[in-house]
Amino acid sequence: MNSMKMMKSRLKCLVFPVLFHAMLLPVHADGLDSLEQFMRLAKTGRANFIQVVTAPAKAGQTARSKTSTGIFEFDRPGRFLFNYQKPFVQTLVADGQTLWIYDADLNQVTARKQAQALGSTPAAILTSASDLKALQADFVFQAEPEKEGLQWMRATPKAKDGQIQTVLAAFRDTDKGPALAVLEVQDSFGQRSVLTFTAYESNPALAANHFQFKPPAGADVLRP
């Protein structure tokens, strides 16, 4: 075997194992793939969250932030619960027909028709449908670059007169499918809300009546 043939043979020995190994490596989904898998695989879910809301800075002042903590749960399609625990107790419950907002300090409940209240909101992206196509009438979706080991996607409401300007969502790859990691919302007033989710559980068992809400005795119930 001449030197040229020996060199080609060595190159084959080196290249083929590398190519074979590359074929076995997992293919990382982008943010849109992760969202679609999340919607398809996670019928129910539960996670702890920390929410930081930052208002736009006023002239000569620094921006101020407020931090809240709680538990988020959902049962697709259309039912979810945000149970705020600190610094104030507040509950947001969507039962499939009505969105209930309960402020414990005020002992006040606000009830709105869910279809009208959630049309182009982040909650609609996470809980209202089982596939991406069902949301494309209300949002424009695009994948964002991977960052900090998370798969990101952006959703922009098609309605120009809504309060939500843009939504960013990030997912973490797990052996049970994509796990919800971050939800970032920018509204039309310049306010930024970032929810970071931890201890995410995919498809926990949730009782059928888990998302039913009954106003506490003596609470004022508003139906705007």
For residue 119, the model assigns a pLDDT of 65
Please report the pLDDT score of residue 186 as a whole number: 93
Domain positions in the chain: 28-55+65-201
Q: Which helix (H) or strand (E) holds 6?
A: helix 3-24
For residues 33-40, give the mean pLDDT.
92
Q: Of how many residues is the chain composed?
A: 224
The rounded percent of the chain whose pLDDT value lies above 90 is 59
**What is the pLDDT averaged over residues 184-189?**
91
Whether residue 95 contacts residue 81, with contact meaning beta carbons closer than 8 Å, is answered with no
Q: What is the mean pLDDT of residues 137-146?
A: 92
Predicted confidence at residue 127, as pLDDT, reads 87
* Average pLDDT estimate for 179-198: 94
pLDDT over threshold 90, residue 71: yes
Q: Tens digits of per-residue pLDDT, 45-55?
A: 999 999 999 98
CATH classification for the domain delimited by 28-55+65-201, as one of 3.40.50.1700, 3.40.30.10, 2.50.20.10, 3.40.50.2300: 2.50.20.10
Average of per-residue pLDDT across 81-108: 94
φ and ψ of 128, to 5 deg: -85, -15
3-state helix, strand, coil split of the chain in percent (to 5) is 20, 45, 35
**What is the pTM assigned to this prediction?**
0.81
Q: Give CA–CA dist 45/118, Å, rounded.
A: 19
